Amino acid sequence: MKQPDTSNHPVQQMIDQIEQSLTELENFSLIQLGQQMGYSPFYCSFLFRHHTGISIKKYMLLRKTILAAAHLSETNERIIDIAMQYGYSSQESFSRAFKDVFGITPAAYRRDPQPLQMYARRDLNETRGAIRMDMTTTEVIVQLQDKVEQLHEQDILNVLNGQHMYEKFRSNQWMGASDYVPFNEAMCVHEATEEIFSESFCSIRARGHDSTLSGYEQIVIYPLHQLFTNLHDYKCIVLWFGDDMFCQLNLLTMIAYLEQQHYSGTVYFNTVQEQTYDVQQTEIKLGTFASLYKQVVLHHQMPTEPMLPVMYQSIRLYLQLQQSDNELTRHIAAHRDQSESELVRHMLKLFPHYGLGDTQYIEWIRQVRGESGEK
């Protein structure tokens, strides 16, 4: 079916105006935006949030910091000049905003650019499918394979986020003769235990997923048998996970498990950015992730330890979802006129940074609506 043209939609016009203002010297004015659109400032704010799932203020903050991060890593411009370019009155105010979003200062990020959760420009014409990689060209993956194999020969285990990515890598042997296993979980939902993959862990996870223990083990545990039986034979573990909240909670769980098992080899995290299909490789230093896992997954607390910006962003999102009033529940409540299937499609498009699938959104919708079936 041909998608409707939304280029003249009022919200799309607002997005275009806002994007243009991100690097303008004069501060953005909601009053001026309302005058340009012919609406009141309040109605502009309402329309924007209704159609995008985010406030104008937060959208601008995320877009400015993402664009500024690119300037920090790709140019030698002074931090104060970058701050001024994105409308900040001082380097200090820019640093506060940057750290609030990424958990790291601009200066620290410039010294050591690390994976970020991307926040792309909103587009009402944009559609979003399942997590996938652009496998038409594999040059980046081949380069990563060569780099890792030069250091570690063939004693490498690739852990991939989900069955789909696993099957693509295994069938095409994109990481050569090394081994592959999938992590088929959704650690951003339901309870867990401290000892990862223990009997009690599997039991409580199975109950959360409304599965039998044997069913859970068939899907999650058995595919990881090489990880369990040969872990310490591998000189290198390569973790392939996306930059969204879903993937990052899975990544945190997997790295915490490696720490619990006292793994002493090299660990790489290959960030797969769904929107650009870029792959960024980061070496992981073990030592703090078991503590992070315990604080976040078990106690729902924001850690104070330094962490990768992409994980910091995802943990912030995860902890916000633990509150009954969050942006997902507010969006569901504001769209009671939509059918369950229609709302799921819209939320998959509007909230890619969560990485949730249709099953998780159906659970959220039914919980908010207090229903057991589609309306």
The pLDDT score that the predictor gives to residue 2 is 45
Q: Residue 192 has which token pair?
A: 């867990």
pLDDT of residue 372: 43
> If residue 207 lies in a helix (H) or strand (E), which one and from where to where?
helix 199-208
Tally of CA atoms within 13 A in the half-sphere of 36 that contains its CB: 15
Domain interval for residue 73? 10-111
Same domain, 63 and 171: no
Is the same domain home to 156 and 300?
Answer: yes
Is 222 within 8 Å of 197 (Cβ atoms)?
A: no
Bridge pairing between strands 266-272 and 279-284: antiparallel
Let me know whether 198 and 107 are in one domain. Answer: no
Strand partners of residue 161: 183
Task: Tell me how far apart the alpha carbons of residues 35 and 46 are, in angstroms, rounded to a whole number.
Answer: 15
Contact 10, 39 (CB under 8 A): yes
Please indicate, yes or no, if residue 261 is contained in any of the structural domains: yes
How much is the pLDDT for 178? 84
Instruction: Give pLDDT, residue 120.
Output: 78
Spans in the chain with pLDDT lower than 50: 1-3, 127-137, 372-375
**Is 224 in the same domain as 347?**
no
CATH assignment at residue 40: 1.10.10.60
* Shared-domain flag, residues 171 and 106: no
pTM score of the predicted model = 0.86
Using CA atoms, how far apart are residues 108 and 334, in angstroms rounded to an integer?
40
| pLDDT confidence of residue 172 | 78
Beta bridge partners of 268: 238, 283
- List pLDDT tens digits, range 311-349: 999 999 999 999 989 999 999 999 999 999 999 999 998
